[in-house]
């Protein structure tokens, strides 16, 4: 329960490709979303397979963040165990440098910490972050794959838990770009 997707209405390959105005809008939305999410689900971690124009790293080459109630620090440890180096970032806007270099990345943000990791040798599997989270939560392979196992009960529970958020999130400036 608690798996949300945050995505821009306009097409961007990744959140690293957002311009400054859209990044400010995302920051405003997160300031409203974080306390609601944490109060409802306990903790909040944001994940992204950042796509490039030449090397697809996500199943969907459109910017989308997975928002999950998991321990992000523990996930960074899993990433390190898998042989990837998670480099600290000041915040998500630092992803622009990787988008400018057309470099795919794995992004993990929790609390006040943001990290980016890369797989230069392309040795990790497709859907890497989903499989890493699944392993962390004890979900057996391949049941972490949403296209194979649909958990309608968790979707319904998340929808019930987030009722009323739309009105609160509508307070974000230029709210038509933000949807709960």
Indicate whether 175 pLDDT > 50.
Answer: no
Question: What is the pLDDT at residue 147?
Answer: 82
Cα separations in angstroms, 41 against 28, 30, 37, 164, 180:
20, 15, 6, 15, 16
pLDDT digits (tens, 9 = 90+) for 73-114: 999 999 999 889 889 999 999 999 999 998 889 999 999 999
Question: What is the pLDDT at residue 172?
Answer: 65
Rounded Cα–Cα distance for residues 128 and 9 (Å): 25
pLDDT digits (tens, 9 = 90+) for 118-172: 887 766 677 889 999 999 999 998 999 888 998 999 999 999 999 989 887 777 6
Question: What is the pLDDT at residue 176?
Answer: 41
- Candidates 92, 60, 66, 70; CA nearest to 4 is 66
Question: What is the pLDDT at residue 170?
Answer: 78
Q: Answer whether 108's CB lies under 8 Å from 78's CB.
A: no
Residue 180 — very low, low, confident or very high, per pLDDT cuts 50/70/90?
very low
Indicate whether 29 pLDDT > 80.
Answer: yes
């Amino acid at each position: 329960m608690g798996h949300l997707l945050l995505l821009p209405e306009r097409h961007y390959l990744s959140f690293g490709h957002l311009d400054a105005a859209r990044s400010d809008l995302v920051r405003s939305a997160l300031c409203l979303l974080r306390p609601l999410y944490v109060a409802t689900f306990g903790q909040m971690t944001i994940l992204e397979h950042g796509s490039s124009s030449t090397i697809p790293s996500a199943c969907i080459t459109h910017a989308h963040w997975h928002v999950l109630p998991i321990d992000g620090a523990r996930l960074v440890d899993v990433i390190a165990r898998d042989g990837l180096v998670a480099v600290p970032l000041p915040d998500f806007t630092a992803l622009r440098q990787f988008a400018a270099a057309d470099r795919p990345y794995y992004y993990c943000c929790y609390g006040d910490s943001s990290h980016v990791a890369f797989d230069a040798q392309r040795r990790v599997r497709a859907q890497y972050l989903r499989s890493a989270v699944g392993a962390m939560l004890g979900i057996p392979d391949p049941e972490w794959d949403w296209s194979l196992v649909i958990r309608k009960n968790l979707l319904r529970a998340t929808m019930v838990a987030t009722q009323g958020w739309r009105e609160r999130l509508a307070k974000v400036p230029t709210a038509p770009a933000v949807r709960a």
